[in-house]
Structure 1
Amino acid sequence: MDRIIWTDRAGQVKSAFLHAWNSYEKYAWGYDEVLPISVGSTNNFNGWGVSIVDSLDTLLLLGLGPQFDRAMDHVNALNFTQSQHDVAPFFETTIRYLGGLLSAYALIANTLLTRADQLGLALLHAFNTTSGLPAWGVNTVTHRQQNTYSALLAEIGSCQMEYKYLAYLTGRKEYFDTVNDITDRMERAQLEEEEFVRTGGLNGMWGTRWDIGSGESVDQYIAVGALADSAYEYLLKGYLLSGRTEKRLLDMYLAASTTALQNLTYISPTRNLLYITDSTNAYPSHKFEHLSCFFPGLLSLGDKTRGSFGSSYTSLLGPLTPSQLRDRHSIAAQGVAETCWVLYGDNPTGLGSETVLFDRPTGGPTYDMSAGRWWDAIDAWESVGRKGALKGSGKKDKKEKIKMDYTVQDARWLMRPETLESLFLMYRYTGDEVWRERCWKVFEGMEKYSRLGQSGEGGGPKSKNLDDKGDGYALAETFKYIYLCLLDPSESEALLPKDKWIFNTEAHPFPVFEWSERQIEEWGIR
């Protein structure tokens, strides 16, 4: 398609972002988020203006200088203090505030590093627990903690990019040590389960709930979606962010992601859609979450930017060569991304549902948990020399319009970025224009069904019956991924070269760096 058309489309995304941003400025400036229907504001993330800090790099990437300058006036006045009754949620504050400050600093190199260091030190008190796993929340003044009993995998495994980059910038070893201890725990848990993996278990992955006292996983609920998602994301991205020096992170990622493909990835019975689900005690639910739609983008990122697909763990995961393993990751990325798109395309609005439940691959009184497993299907396909089409590979199926083989559990579209992130990464790393076209179609649905008059964007069901929410993550992530996907590839590459920048889980780009030889030796980096 003509470059002029794509430039115009990217401009429309920029205009839509400005519509939402101007509404926030007009009705909620300084508060965390705007309430677009009641035309008000709310403080639900510390009251420091999360929409502002979370959007700093978006403003820079979209070339919105005056808006960025006003945002910086707000940031420079912040002191990150709280009343004695409040606590900052550690996970959200880290990925949104700390991530936003660090990313904007990386893009423009101004005074933001001082603010990031200030916040990083304040949040570090969340780790003052028996095990060293972070409490759910911490008061930045009194250091009082909230919920020191249990933590989610996503919460403990999604602070490493921010704190390690901050450690690199400041030279503070305590930042590195604190979050690296969590990685040590995760690695030990993975290695200790080798025999379980050999006998068909799921423990190349981790349970979603962890005991903060003992520092151990305490359940058998395994997922890549809610409660767990970004912990898996940060393994691969942490490896890439470190200039591929922290090689054990690649091993851990390959073990976990391959286990997910082996045990949690299924083919739907009618339309042959590939999806990834969750399980409890190895029993799959066949639920598919929008939150899980980050996974195909992650697989594509690993496939295209890997240093090596060999791993000390892969012997546990079948007799595959590194190239065969890489090929399976690439095929799965295509197939799951296709399904994420289909869940958008199936709806008249062009917007995807929050949660669907796929039909079981087999019926009857006895349920075979392995029925419909994609890994078994690709084994069979390869055993006959790859003859015929591979089910779940993302190819169009003639039955596609005959029957919906899933039930919508939650029809809301919450302006989440996961599918758009994968569309962007699939386009960036494959160059296939179909992903870019789909990104545009999502934007068209978003503009038609989520845009409000003068008060911004509202997430909600597939109609104008919208939620009164102006989520800051839409400004930080959703608009950004659409804009970058629609830009001419040369412009996108000039802004953020794909081999030099890695996005955190809140879509904040961090520059790839390399630890010094002294740090590698003295800090025990591996």
Structure 2
Amino acid sequence: MRICAGKISSLQQEKTVMEQSPRNPHPAIGCNAGGISLLPEHSPVLGVFSLCINRPKQLSFPVVKGTQVCLPIILCKTDIQDLLDCSKFPVYPKLYSYPQSDSIITPVINEACFYSLLVSVKPVDRAEAVREAFRHAWKGYKAFAWGHDELKPISKTHGEWFGLGLTLIDALDTMWILDLKEEFEESKRWVEKELSFTKNVDVNLFESTIRILGGLLSTYHLTGDSLFLDKAKDIGSRLMPAFNTPSKIPFSDVNIGKGIAHPPRWTTDSTVAEVTSIQLEFRELSRLTQDPQYQKAVDEVMRQVHRLDGKHDGLVPMFINTNSGKFTHRGVFTLGARADSYYEYLLKQWLQGGKKEPELLEDYLQAVEGVKKNLLRQTSPSKLVFVGELSHGRLNPKMDHLVCFLPGTLALGAHNGLPADHMDLAMQLMETCHQMYVQMETGLSPEIAHFNLQNHNGRDVDVKPADRHNLLRPETVESLFYMYRFTQDSKYRDWGWEILQSFNKYTRVPSGGYTSIGNVRDPVNPGPRDKMESFFLGETLKYLFLLFSDDPELISLDKYVFNTEAHPLPIWPSDS
């Protein structure tokens, strides 16, 4: 017997009709041999299903009404006797109009009979599905990349960046939050016995701070195990030579074995995001160690940036010179790469310190107004609100996926008493980030989207060939987590669930792990790139789990701030 069932969309809305798309060209998307194939996603319901003898040419997606699901199921005529005793159900022959016209969009022009079949639908445990995804990713890392920075799941080997076990350290607090005790204990033993920061290796100050220092500090707070604080002190002290510059704006690179820092070979500039997105971690290290040197160094960076010329309505350029301490390459303003987390950390430092540093709040509020004044536009035809880039007075309708951190940050500010219109903007931008996924054939966002300001092809989003890759990034699911925590609107969970399903469909590697892909527009050949970034475990799956968790006190947003690598750090007590 072959039975096809349409997908249940949402039980929270009065009426939901899912549009057809290249990803879902036909509503009969769940087919199994030997039984009804259902894709339940909600609490248990009593489904009312219409059984159509003789396949109609096309059926709509299901309409949801209250707790009843009108779900078309397509059967061959001979299958009916296998499934149920027809004599017990009413038969309506020769129906030539729209049966259940709100559910079926094409008339059934053959003889048909309809039966009512009551089916109990078991809900999917979405949080458990995230645990399963983590275990699958960890299976690949443990088998092919244990102790190394990154997994290459296709070639079943590893990639090295710093040689410091980045994926393992990034994932420590995720394992703790997901209650994966066995995996955590095994990883802890590696940290205790194998992790050493004495090696002669150059590391990037920003990346090693947010991933390693941040990961160790958050794991210390969650577990209370001093091993992680000791390791955090070690790496933190080894990164300090980066601040030995004429301007006190840190170099980008540090040799942690030799204690020597330097800029990249091609420039004396550092990126603004990198030098202004290490503050949460170093400030917390000072608080825990009672050693003020760490906070003093990063606070000086913020003081300098606060008073610098070259801003535009609170927006900052992307580069800053380590010799002069001044902005370079002025005139280009973005909330994407090289500037994004500057804005995020303005708000989060203010929250971390107990809302006692008014200059941080001042800079944040000014920047939000600068975004609204200079960077916001609407697409055609759907009037999606997006954040573009300003280049010497001219707007480029380009938005990095990285910018999808912004809805969550705006929502976090509104939750903490900032203007209510910040939440309004957060909701608009969240919809746009969602559309960056659903308008792609794989259901996964490109790295960069270009938005149409004029309706010339019926699409809101265009993607250039060089921008079609997906790196398993977390920013959209991060913002979905914030939006759900603050609104309790279940659609944000549904959107996150769709993303997880697309990850499983197009990026999951059977032998273990998930891979970045090269083309989100090609569901047949998405082009696996053979790399699982550490942030997939450190951020993406963590935020998805928290999104689906029913425990609002699991990493309470009134007690913790997340660093830009999703490592939760405590908000300081009022007496700090």
- Which interval holds the TM-score relative to the shorter structure? 0.7 to 0.9
**Other-structure match for 2:178:** 62
**Other-structure match for 1:12:** 129
**Other-structure match for 2:556:** 497
Equivalent position amino acid for 1:214 in 2: S
In the alignment, the residues of structure 2 paired with residue 213 and residue 7 of structure 1 have an alpha-carbon distance, to the nearest angstrom, of 56
1:74 Cα offset (Å): 1.3
1:499 Cα offset (Å): 0.4
Q: What is the DSSP-based 3-state SS (H/G/I as helix, E as strand, rest coil) of the residue aligned with 2:125?
A: helix
- In structure 2, the CA distance between the partners of 1:469 and 1:255, relative to structure 1 (3 Å rule), is same
Aligned runs of 1:148-187 on 2, under 5 Å? 149-187=268-306
* 1:7 and 1:487 in contact (8 A); partners too: no
Q: What is the DSSP-based 3-state SS (H/G/I as helix, E as strand, rest coil) of the residue aligned with 1:284?
A: strand
Of residues 321, 324, 333, the one that matches 1:214 is 324
Aligned Cα root-mean-square deviation (Å): 1.8
In the alignment, the residues of structure 1 paired with residue 347 and residue 206 of structure 2 have an alpha-carbon distance, to the nearest angstrom, of 19
1:485 Cα offset (Å): 0.5
**Other-structure match for 2:98:** none
Q: How high is the TM-score relative to the length of structure 1?
A: 0.82
Of residues 528, 531, 534, the one that matches 1:472 is 534
1:3 Cα offset (Å): 5.3
* 1:202 and 1:282 in contact (8 A); partners too: no
Aligned runs of 1:14-163 on 2, under 5 Å? 14-44=131-161, 46-77=162-193, 78-83=195-200, 86-111=201-226, 112-147=228-263, 149-163=268-282
Of residues 332, 337, 342, the one that matches 2:430 is 337
**Other-structure match for 2:381:** 270
In the alignment, the residues of structure 2 paired with residue 327 and residue 498 of structure 1 have an alpha-carbon distance, to the nearest angstrom, of 18
- In structure 2, the CA distance between the partners of 1:304 and 1:515, relative to structure 1 (3 Å rule), is closer
1:455 Cα offset (Å): 2.8
Equivalent position amino acid for 2:436 in 1: L
**Other-structure match for 1:257:** 368
Q: What is the DSSP-based 3-state SS (H/G/I as helix, E as strand, rest coil) of the residue aligned with 1:131?
A: coil
1:130 Cα offset (Å): 0.8
Q: Structure 1 residues 144-153 or 219-228, which shifts more?
A: 144-153
* 2:452 and 2:461 in contact (8 A); partners too: yes
1:146 Cα offset (Å): 2.7
**Structure 1 position 482 matched with structure 2 position 575:** no
Q: What is the DSSP-based 3-state SS (H/G/I as helix, E as strand, rest coil) of the residue aligned with 1:507?
A: coil
1:246 Cα offset (Å): 2.2
In the alignment, the residues of structure 2 paired with residue 166 and residue 516 of structure 1 have an alpha-carbon distance, to the nearest angstrom, of 17
1:171 Cα offset (Å): 1.0
Of residues 392, 397, 403, the one that matches 1:281 is 392
- In structure 2, the CA distance between the partners of 1:3 and 1:60, relative to structure 1 (3 Å rule), is farther
Q: What is the DSSP-based 3-state SS (H/G/I as helix, E as strand, rest coil) of the residue aligned with 1:353?
A: coil
After superposition, the C-alpha distances for 1:193-224 in whole angstroms (9 at most, x for unaligned) are 7xxxxxxx824111111011011111221111
* 2:546 and 2:554 in contact (8 A); partners too: no
**Other-structure match for 2:462:** 407
Equivalent position amino acid for 1:475 in 2: L
- In structure 2, the CA distance between the partners of 1:213 and 1:361, relative to structure 1 (3 Å rule), is farther
Q: What is the DSSP-based 3-state SS (H/G/I as helix, E as strand, rest coil) of the residue aligned with 1:495?
A: coil
Q: Structure 1 residues 92-101 or 428-437, which shifts more?
A: 428-437
Of residues 329, 332, 339, the one that matches 1:228 is 339
**Other-structure match for 1:196:** none
Unaligned runs of 5+ in 1: 194-200, 310-325, 364-401, 518-526
Q: Which has the larger radius of gyration?
A: 2
After superposition, the C-alpha distances for 1:150-190 in whole angstroms (9 at most, x for unaligned) are 0001111101000011111111111111000011011112x
Aligned runs of 1:198-213 on 2, under 5 Å? 202-213=312-323
1:456 Cα offset (Å): 1.0
Identity over aligned pairs, percent? 35
- In structure 2, the CA distance between the partners of 1:264 and 1:52, relative to structure 1 (3 Å rule), is same
After superposition, the C-alpha distances for 1:102-139 in whole angstroms (9 at most, x for unaligned) are 00001011121111011111001111111111111111
* 2:347 and 2:361 in contact (8 A); partners too: yes
**Structure 1 position 458 matched with structure 2 position 515:** yes
- In structure 2, the CA distance between the partners of 1:361 and 1:186, relative to structure 1 (3 Å rule), is farther
- In structure 2, the CA distance between the partners of 1:515 and 1:174, relative to structure 1 (3 Å rule), is farther
Of residues 490, 505, 508, the one that matches 1:448 is 505
Equivalent position amino acid for 1:343 in 2: M
In the alignment, the residues of structure 2 paired with residue 258 and residue 203 of structure 1 have an alpha-carbon distance, to the nearest angstrom, of 7
In the alignment, the residues of structure 2 paired with residue 9 and residue 362 of structure 1 have an alpha-carbon distance, to the nearest angstrom, of 38
* 2:336 and 2:403 in contact (8 A); partners too: yes
1:360 Cα offset (Å): 3.7
**Structure 1 position 327 matched with structure 2 position 327:** no
**Structure 1 position 302 matched with structure 2 position 379:** no
**Structure 1 position 292 matched with structure 2 position 386:** no
**Other-structure match for 1:416:** 473
In the alignment, the residues of structure 2 paired with residue 515 and residue 143 of structure 1 have an alpha-carbon distance, to the nearest angstrom, of 36
Q: What is the DSSP-based 3-state SS (H/G/I as helix, E as strand, rest coil) of the residue aligned with 1:294?
A: helix
Q: What is the DSSP-based 3-state SS (H/G/I as helix, E as strand, rest coil) of the residue aligned with 2:462?
A: strand
* 1:427 and 1:436 in contact (8 A); partners too: yes
Equivalent position amino acid for 1:177 in 2: K
Q: Does 1 or 2 have the higher relative contact order (CA < 8 Å, sep 6+)?
A: 1
Runs of 4+ in 1 over 4 A off after TM superposition: 1-7
**Other-structure match for 2:565:** 506
In the alignment, the residues of structure 2 paired with residue 301 and residue 445 of structure 1 have an alpha-carbon distance, to the nearest angstrom, of 27
Equivalent position amino acid for 1:503 in 2: F
Equivalent position amino acid for 2:558 in 1: D
1:6 Cα offset (Å): 6.7
